[in-house]
Chain A
């Protein structure tokens, strides 16, 4: 298939999203006894009150940060399928760090920052395990990132529901984080916190890093043609850098869940944010700024399904169907242009002789 130009690709994506919405609108019609009210609740519910709208923005933040991480790895031609686990270790690292520094007397802002950084570092380390495995044994990052992530999810859930569980609570959760150490709420009573502007700022920074730095340039070339990159003296380090940054973003996304939305680490709290982030990155063509509307779109579908289930009799899982339709339409339309190219395995260039 011929690669599309930027404008063609953007148009194609918008058309596909519109088509997805039209198809999605059919779903309440068949799945609900009162289709009109379900439709109304689904599409307009998230905008019916400022509370609902702000909550939508807040839930878009971790999604966007995960998408930035996944997209960054794609741009370097690396498949990081471990976003979910990287976010999970991020939640744990953030919760533990803040808990440990709570009574240290440090200013809360500093403690908060330490929590975010620790989450980034944890996600980064988990992602780098895959790079290390690739360098040592040639194992595919695609596989190992998924496997390490699944293992990390189990371990994190065990820790939160077991040794680290708050003794006074019936929830499988760590003790709540005191308010001064959480990301400040911007519009109480909604959950909207500093996480949303933070996510937007990260999108801008990642965009600059990819398009307007030397490392970003090397990363793009590495992702497009690994053989050319190697012949031009761009080493495997670029792939590792992309993986580290990708994992770090996953970890930070996890931290925003703990320090922003819920205020405590709860078992299973990542709830698919890594996978949804991956889907957002695909819809956005791995473009950091493109991920902003794509993440909002996905968050809207989630919020709509929630509203539909509260105000009408729509299943809360409706959004899963609609997201799948959107992803399908977009990926089916575009085969190249943005597609992560995994043309060569790391290591020696293959050539017959």
Chain B
């Protein structure tokens, strides 16, 4: 039976002058697992938000079980059985999973008090029925990202969701976590639910989805069953015709990268570009040390919760580690004035881009120029012309066709990341800390970013890649280190995908050290 039918959706965003959806139509039947794929800015998230009731389109129709529903109302979407699972969690962190599940629809005792027991029983039944790996009594802030995602899904189901819309459900999950998430989604589909999910991990699409919708520049360019489809075909479909846009951008990025040697690679006997000396990331963890020379890329991998975030904080100068030191060119990183550190010495792409990497409420121009703020004279601050020119130049290099006075919040997730990478990998900064740099980028943007990173290293920069995904690290790193429970359990040469099994065992604690051989 047809659960949802979307007909001729059109949505234009005047702030960025983009036609995000241009006559999009698709349908979902019960038991269907439909993937929506496309490049950054193809209109995937817009479509999901429209179906979820978060956005109102300019025109088009939305039918649930043949009945038209009104757009732009989450309540109405929920009442019609559409559950939206956003990219960023909307759960109340201080409440338990069960309390979150009933939030807004609390079972009452005597019409007044929360019937706590019933809330827990209901939650337990739901968890049991669909095989969630979730303890309803835990508070949301105690959950891992994967468990939070499950809780979000459970909440959508608890509200009577027959059709689940998931916006990039796996973007913050490790690989094994993604697999179990899709196993859960498959069970839900077998139970008669319909599922619409957005992703740009094509491997996921091919293994999990039953049908695929490919979006390109706001239009549906393909609607097909997964069987008989392969990755090559999908990425060909996703790419823009003639492949014009990004090719130019790539050239500009190459032009912006400094000449080889411009960063003055360290001579013999000089201190390492970046050194961690006996860092203690959490109480009880073994002190951790590593050093990087100019032109070296070190990949540090770990599953969520094993110390990647504290390491990121320590290396980026945001939080002095409990014990130990971070040296940049032999100098204590925490003794360098923050402005000097960030504008001249250290490039930093945070894992938490939305709050650390960008100021979403500020204009794109303000976001682009944040590391160049000392380059302008008082006069250039007073009269904005040169600032606008510089920002416009950066936007052109990025191939970003948006009004720079618009808020950064108007950018799509992938474009936010592209902006960040190109802002950071520029200028004389010789050390880079990049956390999950390829996350939320589509294939082509990933290739472009990888090229940028490799060129930056070739020009003499020392780069630390912090990642929970081995796939992200293998093509880029010279060496790979593994963190487990806050301690460094392995460091060695990058031996490529062949060593994946060994590294995964270290990351999950199945192995405690040694070598691949």
Name A residues whose Cβ lies closer than 8 Å to a Cβ of B. Answer: 3, 208, 212-214, 217-218, 220-221, 224-225, 227-235, 341, 348-349, 351-353
Contacts and interface: CB of A to CB of B under 8 A. Distances in A.
Given A225-B360, A228-B355, A235-B339, A348 B319 contact: yes
Interface string B343-359: 10000101010011111
Contact of A224 (B316, B357, B359): B359
Contacts of B356: 227-228, 231, 349
B370 A349 contact: no
Interface centre among B357, B374, B381 (most CB of A within 10 A): B381
A3 B373 contact: no
B338 A349 contact: no
A217 to B, nearest CB: 6
Given A214-B373, A221-B359, A225-B359, 20 more contacts: A212-B382, A212-B383, A213-B381, A214-B376, A217-B373, A220-B366, A221-B362, A225-B362, A227-B356, A228-B355, A228-B357, A228-B359, A231-B316, A231-B357, A232-B342, A232-B370, A233-B338, A348-B313, A351-B309, A353-B309
Interface string B381-399: 1111000000000000000
Nearest to A216: B381
B339 A227 contact: no
A351 to B, nearest CB: 6
Contacts of A230: 318, 338
A232 B371 contact: yes
A208 B359 CA distance: 21
B341 A233 contact: yes
B207 to A, nearest CB: 31
Contacts of A3: 361
Contacts of B141: 352
B361 A224 contact: yes
5 closest A-B pairs by CB: A233-B342, A233-B338, A231-B356, A233-B339, A225-B359
B492 interface: no
B498 interface: no
A209 to B, nearest CB: 10
Contact of A208 (B309, B366, B370, B382): B382
Interface string B452-472: 000000000000000000000
B373 A213 contact: no
B282 interface: yes
B93 to A, nearest CB: 9
25 contacts: A213-B381, A213-B382, A214-B373, A214-B381, A218-B373, A221-B359, A224-B362, A225-B359, A225-B361, A228-B356, A228-B357, A228-B358, A230-B318, A231-B318, A231-B342, A231-B348, A231-B350, A231-B357, A232-B371, A233-B371, A234-B338, A234-B339, A235-B338, A351-B313, A352-B141
Interface in B285-310: 305, 307, 309-310
B90 interface: no
A28 B70 CA distance: 47
B378 interface: yes
Contacts of A213: 378, 381-382
Nearest to A348: B319
B340 interface: yes
A233 B350 contact: no
Contacts of A217: 366, 373, 381
A240 B48 CA distance: 43
A228 B354 CA distance: 9
Contacts of A224: 359, 361-362
A341 B359 CA distance: 12
Interface centre among A218, A233, A349 (most CB of B within 10 A): A233
Contacts of A348: 313, 318-319
Nearest to A3: B361
Nearest to B360: A225
Nearest to B407: A3
A214 B374 contact: yes
A74 to B, nearest CB: 14
Given A214-B373, A217-B373, A349 B360 contact: no
Contacts of B376: 214
A181 to B, nearest CB: 34
Nearest to A213: B381
Contacts of B355: 225, 227-228
A220 B362 contact: yes
Nearest to A222: B359
Nearest to A236: B338
B390 to A, nearest CB: 14
A44 to B, nearest CB: 42
Nearest to B352: A351
Contacts of A225: 355, 359-362
A322 B152 CA distance: 47
B409 to A, nearest CB: 9
Nearest to B143: A352
